[in-house]
């Protein structure tokens, strides 16, 4: 491990309850009971936080000497898992579509305002 990885790993993320509201509906959607055991939710939350932390550490180590972690660093960290990589790329393209739609909506709204002011 290099110095940067060791430094990143020292910053442990410990926000318990961060996903506590979001996990029970997801668990129910995947076949668990409507009110899952709180210990199960806590365990799943710990696993999720550890996974997110691990992926962030991998992306930071890929970024090398750069001060910022980019989307491409995350894509590189997930390159061995085609399903997750495909999902990341799908979310990126959907985000671009949403941004374009918002931009078009703002442009149309500004054109309408200009016509109304004349």
pLDDT at 117: 73
Determine the Cα–Cα distance for residues 58 and 8; give it in Å rounded to an integer.
10
Task: Quickly count: other Cβ atoms within 10 Å of residue 28's Cβ.
Answer: 13
Give the length of the chain.
Answer: 118
Task: Report how far apart the first and last C-alpha atoms of the chain are (Å, whole number).
Answer: 65
Residue 105: band (very low, low, confident or very high) from pLDDT cuts 50, 70, 90: confident
Q: Tell me the percentage of the chain whose pLDDT exceeds 90.
A: 64
Task: Quickly count: other Cβ atoms within 10 Å of residue 78's Cβ.
Answer: 19
State which H helix or E strand residue 94 sits in.
Answer: helix 82-117
Instruction: Give 3: exposed, middle or buried? Use CB within 10 Å, 0-12, 13-18, 19+.
Output: exposed
Domain layout of the chain by residue ranges: 1-70, 78-118
Give 9-67 pLDDT, tens digit per residue: 555 656 678 898 999 999 999 999 999 999 999 999 999 999 999 999 999 998 888 88
State yes or no: pLDDT of 113 exceeds 70.
yes
Secondary structure (3-state) at 32: coil
Determine the Cα–Cα distance for residues 47 and 39; give it in Å rounded to an integer.
12
Tell me which residue has tokens 């790993």: 9
Average pLDDT of the chain, as a whole number: 86
> pTM to 2 decimals?
0.70
Q: Tell me the percentage of the chain whose pLDDT exceeds 70.
A: 86
Per-residue pLDDT averaged across 64-77, rounded?
A: 90
State yes or no: pLDDT of 75 exceeds 90.
yes
């Amino acid at each position: 491990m290099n110095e940067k990885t060791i430094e990143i790993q020292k910053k442990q993320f410990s926000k318990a309850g961060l996903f506590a509201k979001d996990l029970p509906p997801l668990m129910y959607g995947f076949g668990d009971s409507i009110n899952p055991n709180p210990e199960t939710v806590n365990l799943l939350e710990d696993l999720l936080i550890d996974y997110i932390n691990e992926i962030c550490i991998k992306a930071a180590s890929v970024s090398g000497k750069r001060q910022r972690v980019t989307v491409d660093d995350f894509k590189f960290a997930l390159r061995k898992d085609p399903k997750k990589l495909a999902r990341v790329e799908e979310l990126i393209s959907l985000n671009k579509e949403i941004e374009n739609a918002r931009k078009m909506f703002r442009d149309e709204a500004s054109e309408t305002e200009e016509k109304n002011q004349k």
